[in-house]
Amino acid sequence: MKIVFMGSSDFAVPTLVGLAHSGHEMVAVYTRPDKPSGRGLSVVESPVKRVAGKLGCRVQQVENFNNAVDVANLNNLNPDVFIVASFGIILPTSVLDIPHYGCLNLHPSLLPRYRGPTPISAAIISGDHVTGTSVMLIEKKVDSGPILAQAKVHIEPSDTTQSLTEKLAQASADLLIEVLPKWFASSIMPAPQKDEDATYTKMLRKSDGELDWRLSAIELWRRVRAFYPWPVGYTKYSGKILRIFEALPLSRQLDKLGRVVDLGCGDVGVQTGDGVLKLAKVQLEGKNEMGISEFVRGHRGFIGSLLPS
């Protein structure tokens, strides 16, 4: 079968690699344009472009498919199926109608739960113990198409969005490679989603990372994990942003809300609305990431300070 793969982020890479070794013909890989990044605004390729180049795939970069020429070029590839994973571009009807076997999308949740752009962080914030991935047919309405197959993935207490993304990326690739032959053989009947059971996620902003100490320690612990590696959970100390990379919830009530407390044995925490959030790794604005003991040694006034809620 002739496959066109569409993806951009790290999540899409295991699927790209799996398809490249699946025996099908990868006629093209579509990804987002290079973009400036970092303080120096150096041009950065998408992870999919970097890996596709190493695999010897033909790479096309598009901002969207509003240009009729781009749609015509895609049609001229005569593809049998489109495989879409974390592409970041909405496909218009003119594109969806091209392949005979449709457009299959990999979505890292057990749809219809967590439709939208941030299903992985949403599952961690909600305290779910299990999430998963879905192979679905793309329809006009985002993440609402019928489902071909799903696979469950357990969420460990140590999982962050980064680690859970890696697990879901591989699970998605494995599931797709298993499903494709059945789909081409017409031995799978897509199951419609129940819209009444749908939940939705929103795009994260940098400001979403600010921690509200009125929440419980468990809720804040989930947010620290969900917001890693971006936007990173943070608070403010001494007029600067203090990023919190690792923490643990403790069921204690020791002091005033937002107070930094000494837990003994070098441990430090912050009093929350319910329990204490024990800090493990932090980074003060303009400094390097460090363990909390090292940070306290360099900032003697930290213990006993009151962090903003």
73 annotated active-site: no
* 3 state SS of 268: strand
Is residue 80 annotated as part of the catalytic site, yes or no? no
Phi, psi of 306 (to 5 degrees): -115, 120
| Catalytic member of 105, 109, 121, 172 | 105
| Contact status, residue 210 vs residue 223, Cβ threshold 8 Å | no
DSSP state letters, 152-213? EEEPPTT--HHHHHHHHHHHHHHHHHHHHHHHHTT---PBPP-GGG--B-----GGGGB--T
- Catalytic status, residue 134: yes
CA distance 159 to 154: 10
Considering 46, 134, 159, 172, which one is annotated as catalytic?
Answer: 134
Catalytic residue among 8, 46, 86, 143: 143
Q: How many CB atoms lie within 10 A of CB 254?
A: 14
Give the list of residues 6+ apart from residue 69 with CB closer than 8 angstroms, or none: none
Cα three-residue angle 15-164-199, rounded to 5 degrees? 90
SS3 39: coil
Angstrom distances, CA of residue 171 to CA of 134, 162, 178, 187, 232:
10, 14, 11, 21, 25
- Bridge-based pairing of strands 276-284 and 267-271 is antiparallel
Three-class SS of residue 296?
helix
Taking CA 231 as the corner, what is the angle to CA 230 and CA 236, rounded to the nearest 5 degrees? 140
Residue 137, classed as helix, strand or coil, is: strand
Q: How far apart, in whole angstroms, are the C-alpha atoms of residue 31 and residue 24?
A: 19
Catalytic annotation, pick one of 24, 80, 86, 107: 107
Residues assigned a catalytic role: 105, 107, 134, 143
